Chain A
């Protein structure tokens, strides 16, 4: 089943009922699997008296995503350990540690593949990475570089656009655009870096760049842009104005569920692929709220095998806009993200557990 889903040309085709029953079965299986193979997870489930076999998606037990910053949770013998993913985080901040085995790693790569290819097409494109070349200094390897590497496989002859001072390397860019003129280019970068070091660079110099026909994928969060009151619509408008870019896709994803990314469509909505889903909960009661109502995002994914991360309550606030009927034609739920739960309201994980009945 999962193999089929992850090799599909269109990862957005399951209708509501079929998707729900498929996800329910797969996620229930994962709950049992992790219950048997991860003792701390077992303890948590036992303590909360949550049924291991849920009747509805919203009854599937979930862990607060912050828990991965406090505990090393994994469901595999040490010999199967393949790699550990760390979340980004500034100095002093706790980072998540996600333990991956080969199986999960392959599933993650395939999932990312099927999603991104449905946007970019089958062939790899000449690629511009709006960042500096972190390959030169491997010690600085961060979550940012890990994300970039994941996406790099969709491109070829990668150009790292920024120098070590985060300045646009104009000569290199010119040569690159010349070499691939007439071809669509794949641009990738983190939202804030694109804003600060690409858009602002050209805006400050009052210069335009012709990137029409190219595709831009960006992610990593809006926090810094929100501080400057830049909306997604404004960001897109400026990219069009300055660079002629019309195919701009934001994505929402996290290190705790690599591979299950939520890509933004032409209508500006984030979409759940067939193998993942989102629920929105009231931040106070943790009850699931109706579509259209803002709340905490819970992410469900059938990919995590080596760690109990198939059902996670995030700290992100968002709203489900609808299901199966987005004007872009993709099936599944579509939603928007509207920032993070303010730090002051953060509840400890013990609260989250007791509130879950």
Chain B
């Protein structure tokens, strides 16, 4: 699994989404599944999956799938 797929899987797992969800189009609070509670679950999932510890500032910044990629790049997680 490449990092993009790993990230997608993390979103699906943490937010409890259907496999077929268009994760790339999601934004924070745009669907009931991605609320503040689920956001914490997502952060925990990202910490674990990529073996990092997200900074609190970055936690707020993860407001979409694209944004998540941008933030993770700061932690040397590469997306091609």
Interface string of B40-56 (1 = CB under 8 A from A): 10011001000001111
Count residues of chain A with CB under 8 A from any CB of chain B.
22
Contacts of B24 in A (CB 8 A): none
B1 at the interface (CB under 8 A from A): no
B60 interfacial by beta-carbon distance below 8 Å: yes
B36 adjacent to chain A (CB < 8 Å): yes
Does B37 interact with chain A (Cβ within 8 Å)? yes
Check A124–B53 contact: CB distance below 8 A.
Answer: yes
B29 on interface, CB distance cutoff 8 Å: yes
Most chain B beta-carbon contacts within 10 A, residue among A153, A157, A158: A153
* Interface membership of B17, Cβ < 8 A: no
Closest to A7 in B: B57
Distance between Cα atoms of A158 and B43 in the complex (Å): 12
- Is the Cβ of B57 less than 8 Å from the Cβ of A113? yes
Give complex CA distance A109, B61 in Å: 11
Number of interface residues of B (CB under 8 A): 14
Contact (A138, B37) CB under 8 Å given A113-B57, A124-B53:
yes
Q: Indicate if the CB atoms of B44 and A113 lie closer than 8 Å.
A: no
- Asked if B40 and A153 make an inter-chain contact with CB atoms under 8 angstroms apart, the answer reads yes
Q: Name the one of B29, B36, B47, B55 contacting A122, with C-beta atoms under 8 angstroms.
A: B55
Judge if A154 is at the interface, Cβ distance under 8 Å: yes
Cα–Cα distance between A152 and B47 once the two chains are bound (Å) = 14
Q: What does the 1/0 interface line of B15-48 toward A look like (CB < 8 Å)?
A: 0000000000000010000001100100110010
B40/A110 in contact, CB under 8 A: no
Contact of B60 among A113, A123, A138, A149 (CB under 8 A): A113
Q: How far is the CB of A350 from chain B (nearest CB, A)?
A: 36
A156 in contact with B60 (CB, 8 Å): no
Picked from B29, B53, B59, the residue with its CB within 8 Å of the CB of A153 is B59
Is A135 part of the binding interface, using a Cβ–Cβ cutoff of 8 Å? yes
Q: Are B56 and A113 in contact (CB under 8 A)?
A: yes
Contacts of B59 in A (CB 8 A): 153
A156 touches B47 (CB 8 A): yes
| Assembled-state Cα–Cα distance A4/B55 (Å) | 19
18 contacts between A and B (CB under 8 A): A82-B29, A106-B60, A110-B60, A113-B56, A113-B57, A113-B60, A117-B56, A123-B53, A124-B55, A124-B56, A135-B37, A138-B37, A141-B37, A149-B40, A152-B40, A153-B40, A153-B60, A158-B44
